[in-house]
Structure formats: structure tokens, C-alpha cells
Amino acid sequence: MITINNISKSYNSKVAVDQLNLQINPELFVFLGPNGAGKTTTIKLLTGLLRPDAGHIQLNGHDIQIEPLAAKRQFGYAPETPALYEKLTPFEFVRLILAIYQIPTAIGVTRMEQLFDIFELNDHQNSLIEELSNGMKKKISLIAALVHQPKILILDEPTVSLDPKAVRHLKEIMRGMVLRGSSVFMSTHILEVAETMADRIGIIDHGKLAALGTIEELRASFHVDATLEEIFLRLTGEASSQKIDEFLQ
């Protein structure tokens, strides 16, 4: 369970996250928002990569600032850009992750082999990461987040660069983890994923939570039978058709 209690974060004078409150239960929570709205900042605050100016974050009851190691043991994290150790092989990288999370060898290796198989990386597990494509790097990053079977999964734009088959497998894994009691917090720009998969959706704009609820609750609050795209655009501001027309001319 993730509890975000009144957190704020500013970069110099720019407010990135403004008094955000959220509680994520064992569910698949999708965080939406335009570029620069504060999604990645929120995720970095959740993972301890940034410190909040105010507020608290608890991961399964452990405050990320007060008990960082205990809190970090709760989650698996895949960043938006999979910056990995380029001079290691996927096998070596995931083995390092297993050692960090102190997963017993037999269990860890079985899981690693299963995930390499699911994401079709078997043939590349002993090549240098620097020689792999972006999509493959993204898969390795996801495997590293999943291999220790965390209670909380934090994914920043997980579907970017993935092929449709891998996206499908990832969706199934996320759904399966939620059914087994894990919390999944993911940010995405792909509204179809949010619409079809999310138990709840949060929409952030200019650092503030603009909407929160299930897709039905969001529709109800707007009193329309609208698609998620229409709700999203209404909340975050539509692009001016006039400007597009001017550009096209």
C-alpha cells in the first residue's frame, strides 16, 4: 500500500508537485498527466530519488525518508529511461539486483529465467547491454523491477519502446500481481492502457491532482458518457484547433 500524504516538491521557484494526497491500495493505479505535470517527480519522490519539501510517503507502512532501506525493500521500480550498466550483460545486471534484494539463488535464478523467457531475451542475456536496442533495455529494466516480486510496483511509462507482445505480457503480469495483493503505480500517456486496465486513475496537472477515481467515477463527475481522452483533454486543456489550422496552412 502506498500512502502519499500532502507532499510538495519545487525545483527552484517552479512547483512540480503541490500538496498531493493519494492512497494506493492493492490495485492497479494509473497516473496520467501532460508532459511536465509532475508524474515523474511524484514517482521519484515515491522511490526516494527526490526528497519532498513537505509531506510524507509511506510504502507498506515504512516512511521513505525515515526508514529508507525498509521502504525500498517493498517496491520494484522501472524508470522511464532505462539507464543501465552498459558494460554488464542482462544476466549479470539482474543477478546484481537479486543479490541486492537478497533473493535466494535457486528462487532468483528460476524467476530470472522465467522473465527472460517471457520477454524473449533468452538469446541476449549474455550480450553487453550497450549493444541491445532501447526496447530490450526497457525489458531488462522491467525484469529488474519484477524479479524480486515486490509488493509494490512503480513503473514510469513502462510501455514506451516495448513491442505489442511485451506490452501484452506486462499487462498480464501487472494484473496478476494485483490479484495476488500487490499495488501497481504506473504513469503512462497511453490512455487506452489506462481505460482498459486501471482500477483507479489519477490525473495530475501543474503538480495538483485534477481528478481521481475509477473510469466510471470520472465519467460520472463530468456528467458525460465521454471517453478518457475527452475527460483528460477537458481537465488539462485542449490544443487550440485554430492554431493547428494556422500551422497546416
Partner 1 sequence: MILPLLKITLYKSFALFRTGRKIKPIKSILPLLAMSILPVFIILRAREMFEAWLLVPQLGASFMLSFLSSALLGLFVVLILSGFPHAFYYLYLAPDLSLLAALPLAPRTIFLQKFIEMSLMGCGAFIAVGLPLMISMIWVLGGIIRAYFLLLLLFPLYVIIAGAISALLSMALAAFLNVRRIRRFFVYLTGLIIILVWAGLQFLRLSRLNPLSDDFDADMVSRFSSFFANMKFSAFPSDWLLQSIYSTAIREPERMIIPFLCLAITAAVLTRLVVLIRARSRDFSNPEIGRVFPAHPHRHSKGKLFASLFQKEMTLIFRDARVLQSYWIITAMILVWPFIQQRQAMSSIESGIDLLPFLGSLLLISLFAGNMARQTVPNEREAFQYLLSAPISIRRVLMAKLLAQSALFAGMSTVNVWLTAYRFHLFIADALVLWLCMVFCVVIGLVVGQTIGVLFGNYHWQDPRQMLTPGWNYLSPLVSILFCGLGLAIFAALWQVNQIVAFLIFFAYVGGVFQFGIMVSAKKLTKLEWI
Which residues in this chain contact partner 1 in the complex, by CB under 8 A? Answer: 11, 44, 47-51, 68-70, 72-73, 77, 79, 81, 83-89, 91-92, 95-105, 108-109, 125-128, 131, 144
- Alpha-carbon distance of 156 to 77, in angstroms, equals 8
CB of 151 to partner 1, least distance (A): 13
CB of 245 to partner 1, least distance (A): 27
Closest by Cα among 41, 46, 40, 39 to 23: 46
CB of 52 to partner 1, least distance (A): 10
All 3 cell numbers of residue 6?
500532502
CB of 128 to partner 1, least distance (A): 6
CB of 221 to partner 1, least distance (A): 34
Q: Is residue 4 within 8 Å of residue 57, measured between CB atoms? A: yes
Concatenated DSSP letters of 130-176: GGS-HHHHHHHHHHHHHTT--SEEEEESTTTT--HHHHHHHHHHHHH
- Alpha-carbon distance of 37 to 70, in angstroms, equals 29
CA 94 to chain centre: 19
Please say which residue, 130 or 192, places its beta carbon nearer to partner 1. Answer: 130
Q: To which residue does cell 550480450 refer?
A: 127
Please say which residue, 73 or 219, places its beta carbon nearer to partner 1. Answer: 73
Please say which residue, 151 or 175, places its beta carbon nearer to partner 1. Answer: 151
Please say which residue, 26 or 48, places its beta carbon nearer to partner 1. Answer: 48
Closest by Cα among 82, 172, 93 to 134: 82
Please say which residue, 114 or 126, places its beta carbon nearer to partner 1. Answer: 126
Strands 2-11 and 14-24: antiparallel
Residue type, 60: N
Please say which residue, 20 or 203, places its beta carbon nearer to partner 1. Answer: 20
CB of 20 to partner 1, least distance (A): 17
